[in-house]
Structure 1
Amino acid sequence: MNEISAELQDVLMKEKRWTPKAFNLLGVEIENMSIRIPLWKNHARVFRMDRTKRKGRVLHPSGTVADLFGDYQSGEVFLVEGEWDVLAAVERGLNHTVCGTNGAGCFNRKMAKALNGKSVTIIYDNDLAGARGSAKAAAMLLSENCEVRNISLEGHVKAKGDLREFLNTPTGSIEKLLKIIEGFNWMEKEETETNKTKALIAHQLSNVKEEKTEFIWQPRIPKGCPTVLVGDPGVGKSYLTAWIAAQVTKGAPLTLDDSNFAPGNVLIFNMEDSLTSTIVGRVRTAGADLSKVWVVNDKVLLSIEGMRAIRSLIEKYQPALVVFDPLTSVIGSETQMNSANDVRDKMEFFIEISREFKLAVLVVMHSNKGADHRDLIHRALGSIDFVGAVRSMMLVVKSPGDSSIKLVGHVKANLTAPASTLFYQISETEGVQMLESRNESLESILGQEEAQNRNQGAVDEAVEHMQSLLKDGPLNSSEFQRLCLEVGISAATIKRARPLIAKTRKVVNPSKKRGAGCAYHITYLKKDEAKFGKLEHVELVEKFGIGSADEHFQQSHVSQISLTPEES
C-alpha cells in the first residue's frame, strides 16, 4: 500500500491544493498524457486523458487486482467510491478515507475483513451504480461486525456526482459533510438485503405453473412489463395517454375487440404540462373518472430517493397503470441517452415496478426524426436499449396524406402478434376520436400513403404541363400523348391526369366499319378558369379514317361551336 507520508501531508496543508510536488511525493507519474497512480506495491491505476475530446477514461492494467487504497488504520474510516474521492478527502483533512479500487461494485470480502470491527461511513457516488455498490459493501461490513452508515449525497450534488465534486463546490466543506453524515443513523443487519450470499435457483419447468399475460389494452399494453409510446413532439402523445387513462378508470374497452374490465387507478408523472390549465382539462375531456387519476406534477428523478418515492406512491394508490410522460423528464439531464449502460439502469426500474406490483407501465418517448418508416423500431430517441428493455412498443405518427389524422402502430410485440394499426383524430372539445382500424402494419400503410403522395405529386406536375400544352387550343390525341411522353411523363400518369383537364367525346363513322372512326376530343381547361378566363367556345376536331365506304365522310373539317364547360 502507498502511504500518505508526513512530508506529503505537510505540502498539502501549506499549499491547500495538489501541486506537482505533492503528486511526486505520492508517486504519481505522468507520461504521454497518462497519469499513473500507485495503488499498492507493483501495481498502478491509469487515468488516460484524451486532449481532443476533453474526456478521460480509467484503464485497468494487466494484472491489476481490486484492493483498498488509502489509510484505514484508524478505528473510524470513510469508505468512498474512487481514488479521486480519496485524494480530495485527504486534501481537506479527512485522512482516514479509503476506497476499493476498480469501481463501485468491486468491494469484496477481503476488503471487508481488512476493516473488521471498525466504524465505517460509506459515501458512494449519487447514481444507481453507487447505490448498489454501497448496499453491497454495507452488507459485507455488517457481517464483519462493523458499525456502518450509508450516506447519500442526493440533493447536495447533481446526478452521478461524487464526494470530490461536493468538496470542490464553493459551499462544500468537511464541516458541511459531517453535518450531512449526522443525519444518517447507524445501520442494523436487518436493513440490508444481501447479508448472506444468495443462492441461485434453477426451476424445473415441469413444476412451473404457467400464467397468461394480462393486458390493460390487448395486445398493446401488458401488465408486468413496461411499454413505450414513441412519437414526434406535438403529434398528440399526451392526448392519447389521457384517453388510455380515461378508459382504465372506467373499465371501458379501448377498442372494439376488447372486453370490459374492472376500473382501476392511474398514476401519471407529468412535469412538463401545467396541472391546472392543461392536464386536468385534457383528462376530463377524455371522459376519465377524475377520482381515480393521480398526477405527480413536481420534479422527480430516477435517483435512489426518487425511486423510493415512486414506489411509495404506487404502494399508496395501487394503480393499474403508471404513466411517465415524457421519459426525459424523469431520467435527468445527466443520463447519456445513447449509452446502453445508462439506459439499462433506468429501464430496469420500470421492469422491476411493473413485475413487483403487477401493473402496466407506459413510458412516453420522443422519436428520432432521422429514422425513416422502413426502420420504425429505431424511431425511439436514444439507445436501442430503450426499446430492447420493453416487450411492447407503439409508434404515433401523422398521416402523410392528412396531418390531422394520427396513426398508432404496434411496431414491437414480443408477447403476441402485433395489433392492428389505428387511425384517430384529436378534438379540443372531445379529445381522441378513433376513426378506423386496419389489419396492416404501420410500415405498410406509411409506405402506401407516401407512394400515393409521390404519385399525386407526379400527377400535379403532369396537369400543369398539359395545361400549358392546351392553352392555345386543342391537340390531336396522338400528338398530345407524344408531347407529354417527350418531357418524361409516363403513360400511366397521363391516363390519371387527363380527366382532370379534358372532356373526351367519341365520334364514330356512320358507316360503322371497323377502323373507319376514332376518338376525338372536345378539350377545355377544367382548372384555372380565373387564370385563363371563362371558355365560351371550344374547337371540335373531327377526322374520319381514309378508306371509309361513305366518301361523304372522307374529309377533314373544323367547325366552331359555342359551348361552355357545363354544356359540354
Structure 2
Amino acid sequence: MLFQKNNATNHPVRQEVLSEPTSSVKPLSLSRNELMVLSMAEVAIEEVQWLWKPYIPLGKITILEGDPSEGKTWLALDLAARVSNGQQHTYPQLQLTEPANVLLATAEDGLGDTIRPRLERLQADCHNIHSVVGMKIGSIKKAFSFQNLNLLEEKLDFYRPKLVIIDPLQAFLGPGIDMHRANETRPILSNLSTMAETYQTAVLVIRHLAKATGNKAIYRGMGSIDFTGAARSVLAVGKLPEPSEERVMLHLKSNLAEKGKGQAFMIAEEGLVWTGERDVDADEIMNQIPQKDGALKDVEAFLRTELSEGPKEAKEVQEKAQAHGFTTYQLRKVREKLKVKSYKPSGEEKNACWYWALP
C-alpha cells in the first residue's frame, strides 16, 4: 500500500499496490539470543544441607558481623577447629561426621602470632586448615581479591573444604570496588554464591558494622544491603549488657529455616566456651554504646530537666538530646528507667504529635 498526493486537493490518497503475499511470521535465527525457561515440574526438590542448623547452611553464603573485639574471629576459628577435627563439643545441631578441610582467607590477624596460636588453643587439626596467603599472576605475587574468584575456585576443587572463611569482607573486594554500590558488588556475590553451591561448602563471610547506631540490627552491616540480601543466613555477635562478661551470637536473618535462638559464649583460657541460649533483643544488643561512668546520669539529668515543667513533644526532646550528643539507645534506656509516659492527646487526629511526660 502506498500514499500519493492528489493534485487537485494536495491531500495524500491511498493507492493499493498488488504484491506477492508475505508471511507475517519470520523464521527464527539459530544464533539469536533467547530467554531460557524451565517448567517447575522439571525441578527436583532438594533438602537443605547444614553445617550448623539453623545457623550455617552448606552451599550458601552466611554473614557473621559485629564490632571489633566482640568475638567474630574467635567464633569463626572455633567453628573451623570443630570442622578440622570432626569434634562437635558443645555445639548444638552441628552436622559433623568426620574431619574436613577448611579454607581460610584473613587479612587482619597474623597467621603466626594470632591465628595459629588460637587454633592450637581451640584444639584444631591444623593439617586440615589451609590459609590463602596471596596469589601469583605470572611471576608477580599479589594480594588475593574477589576479582580473581577463578583462582579461589581452583582451590575449592582441590581441597573440597566444608567451610570457607573470609575475614573481613571489605579486604577482599579488590581495588576500585565500592562496597556501598549494589551494581558493583552484585556480580561478585552472584559468582561466590554459585561456587558455594557447586562445591557444597559453607562460605562464612565476616563483616564489620557501620559506625551509625540506632538502626535495626539487620541494617547495621557495613556496605550495600545487597550483601545481606545475597546471604541465606546472617549472624551477628555482640556483648550482653553489663555486668555480664558473655557475648552472644544472634540470628538476624534466615531464608532456609526458622531463626535460631541467641547463643551465648565466653572467651576462656581453654578457648571459646558456649554457655547456653539467650532470649535477647537483637536491636538493643547491636546498638549498645559502651557507656563511660556517668554518661547515663547526664542523660537522666537532661530528660528530667526537659520534662520538669510538664509534657513536651517527643520529637523536640529527641532533637535536643541529639544536639547534646546523646544516642537513641541512651535516651531509650533512661526513658525506661524513669517510666516516661508516651501518648497522643485524646481527641486529636491520628497524625497528631507524640508527647512525653514524667509519671
2:65 maps to 230
> Pairwise mapping of residues 519-534 of structure 1 onto structure 2 (< 5 A)?
none
> Pairwise mapping of residues 59-138 of structure 1 onto structure 2 (< 5 A)?
none
Pair 438,202 (structure 1): closer, same or farther in 2 beyond 3 Å? same
Pair 338,457 (structure 1): closer, same or farther in 2 beyond 3 Å? closer
Q: 1:396 aligns with which of 237, 243, 246?
A: 237
CA distance in 1, matches of 2:231, 2:277: 24
Say if 2:233 and 2:255, in contact at 8 Å, map to a contact too.
yes
User: Cα distance, 1:324 vs. partner?
Assistant: 0.7
1:432 maps to 272
1:376 maps to 217
Higher RCO (CA < 8 A, seq sep 6+): 2
User: Cα distance, 1:268 vs. partner?
Assistant: 0.2
CA distance in 2, matches of 1:394, 1:426: 18
> Pairwise mapping of residues 339-378 of structure 1 onto structure 2 (< 5 A)?
339-372=181-214, 375-378=216-219
How many residue pairs end up in the alignment? 267
Percent identity of the aligned residues? 30
Secondary structure of the residue aligned to 1:273 is: coil
1:274 maps to 110
CA distance in 1, matches of 2:244, 2:185: 32
Pair 302,401 (structure 1): closer, same or farther in 2 beyond 3 Å? same
Deviations 1:457-498 (A, max 9, x none): 67xx89xxxxxxxxxxxxxxxxxxxxxxxxxx99x98xxxxx
Letter in 2 for 1:231: G
User: Cα distance, 1:263 vs. partner?
Assistant: 2.5
Say if 2:122 and 2:270, in contact at 8 Å, map to a contact too.
yes
1:151 maps to none
Q: 1:217 aligns with which of 37, 49, 52?
A: 52
Secondary structure of the residue aligned to 1:252 is: coil
User: Cα distance, 1:346 vs. partner?
Assistant: 2.1
CA distance in 1, matches of 2:102, 2:150: 18
2:75 maps to 240
CA distance in 1, matches of 2:240, 2:278: 14
Pair 238,197 (structure 1): closer, same or farther in 2 beyond 3 Å? farther
1:309 maps to 151
1:80 maps to none
Pair 242,380 (structure 1): closer, same or farther in 2 beyond 3 Å? same
2:253 maps to 412
> Pairwise mapping of residues 378-527 of structure 1 onto structure 2 (< 5 A)?
378-402=219-243, 404-427=245-268, 429-443=269-283
CA distance in 1, matches of 2:35, 2:243: 55
Pair 197,268 (structure 1): closer, same or farther in 2 beyond 3 Å? farther
CA distance in 2, matches of 1:196, 1:246: 52
1:292 maps to 128
Q: CA RMSD in A?
A: 3.4
2:41 maps to 206
CA distance in 2, matches of 1:360, 1:209: 22
Letter in 2 for 1:209: A
CA distance in 1, matches of 2:257, 2:58: 13
Q: 1:336 aligns with which of 163, 178, 202?
A: 178
Q: Whose radius of gyration is greater, 1 or 2?
A: 1
CA distance in 2, matches of 1:196, 1:327: 40
Letter in 1 for 2:276: E
Pair 278,196 (structure 1): closer, same or farther in 2 beyond 3 Å? farther
CA distance in 2, matches of 1:248, 1:196: 48
Superposition misfits of 4+ residues, deviation over 3 angstroms: 195-201, 257-260, 443-447
User: Cα distance, 1:220 vs. partner?
Assistant: 0.9
2:84 maps to 249
Say if 1:252 and 1:259, in contact at 8 Å, map to a contact too.
no
CA distance in 1, matches of 2:248, 2:118: 20
CA distance in 1, matches of 2:94, 2:33: 42
Say if 1:411 and 1:442, in contact at 8 Å, map to a contact too.
yes
Pair 234,403 (structure 1): closer, same or farther in 2 beyond 3 Å? farther
1:264 is the counterpart of 2:81: no
In structure 1, the gaps of 5 or more residues are 1-194, 463-488, 494-568
Letter in 2 for 1:301: S
